[in-house]
Amino acid sequence: MADAPDRAAETTPGRPPVVAVVGSGYMGGGIAQVLALAGSRVTLGDVDADHAESTRRRLIDQARAFEADGLFAAGSADVLGERLAAAASIEDAVAGADYVTEAVFESREVKRSVLERVSAAATRAVIGSNTSAIPIEELSQWVTAPERFLGVHWMNPAPFIPGVELIASSSTAPAAVEFAEALVVRAGKRPARVADTPGFVANRLQFALYKEAVRMVEEGVATPGQIDTVVSNAFGFRLALFGPFAIGDMAGLDVYAASYESLAAAYGERLEAPRLLRDMVAAGHLGIKSGKGFLDIPAEQVPSLLAYRDRAYQALSALRDRLGAAPGL
């Protein structure tokens, strides 16, 4: 079993890997669509054959609707009809697979049962868990040959969100990470290798924001609708194009540090400036205005970056105007 990560060498850049998706709900189904459209033959495994076949039909019908709306390329539904298969059991689904996506409910008990079954039946496959927050180190204890196991966290909805987090445990072989990375790149996604901490990067940030938003509702600062309006039209608007460090470097880290002083005075330790930010400012590293920040953006690229930023914001504003308001919001 120690040679399981060698599947990366067998399938890249040769034939597309044979894939199994275990847990064919909303997330698993979307992952199956993406990987099948990227060239893989994908077998769906669920609690029984009826559930798997029902999902197969749903994914094909959904693809036809996506085609009609211009979201999938013409012929995508036919491709899925050829490349998606439904298995009678989880064990049948993963037999012969090069790669298995575990996308079952976010429950330790459920994941333990499924990972034990998958790793026993798919003795050579690389296995990726789509867990949203459970540490991969914890999940790996239930996987036979954990060197071929890692977190491969897709975003919702999988067909349309480009980001995928790759999370290795202390047991994960580098070849398994490389295999998963090549798989998602081939599917047109943008992977990022991140550390194995609860929530990883995306959900740790997302849930920190959500908690503060709910707290503001509790305090009577604003209604949920008002908060959503502010976020989607202010800093959340920028986040569609840039991450927090790029935004901070462009704004000025000294500005951020000064703002944290006001926040800490009102809210205490939870909104104090992070030590690393304070150290950066004390050293005179203020972002693009000083020539060095968290991202070390080359000075000669700053004018082009700012011009890109302005064009991108204008284009995003125009796109939102064309789309109109989201129904019901």
**Which CATH code is given to the segment(s) 234-322?**
1.10.1040
**Residue 318: what pLDDT?**
98
**Residue 13: what pLDDT?**
56
**Residue 106: what pLDDT?**
95
CB under 8 Å, gap of 24 or more: what pairs does 246-249 form? Answer: 246/295, 246/297, 248/287, 248/293, 248/294, 249/287, 249/288, 249/293, 249/294, 249/295, 249/297
**Residue 8: what pLDDT?**
46
Query: CATH: 3.30.479.30, 3.40.50.720, 3.30.1330.30, 3.90.1300.10. Which one for 4-194?
Result: 3.40.50.720
Q: What is the mean pLDDT of residues 192-218?
A: 97
**Residue 24: what pLDDT?**
83
Confidence of residue 217 (pLDDT cuts 50, 70, 90): very high
Residue 244 has pLDDT above 80, yes or no: yes
Q: What is the mean pLDDT of residues 318-325?
A: 96
Residue 9 has pLDDT above 80, yes or no: no
**Residue 65: what pLDDT?**
98
Q: Angle, nearest 10°, between helix axes 26-37 and 76-83?
A: 100
The least confident of 1-15, 130-144, 226-240 is 1-15
**Residue 1: what pLDDT?**
37
Q: What is the mean pLDDT of residues 219-235?
A: 98
| C-beta separation of 36 from 83 below 8 A | yes
Q: Angle, nearest 10°, between helix axes 275-282 and 253-267?
A: 140
Span 81-122, pLDDT tens digits: 999 999 999 999 999 999 999 999 999 999 999 999 999 999
**Residue 7: what pLDDT?**
53
| C-beta separation of 108 from 133 below 8 A | no
- Strand duo 19-22 + 99-102: pairing: parallel
Q: What is the mean pLDDT of residues 155-183?
A: 98
Confidence of residue 263 (pLDDT cuts 50, 70, 90): very high
Q: How much of the chain, in percent, has pLDDT values that exceed 90? A: 95
Domains 4-194 and 234-322 agree in fold: no
Model confidence, pTM: 0.93
User: How do the domains of the chain map onto residue ranges?
Assistant: 4-194, 234-322
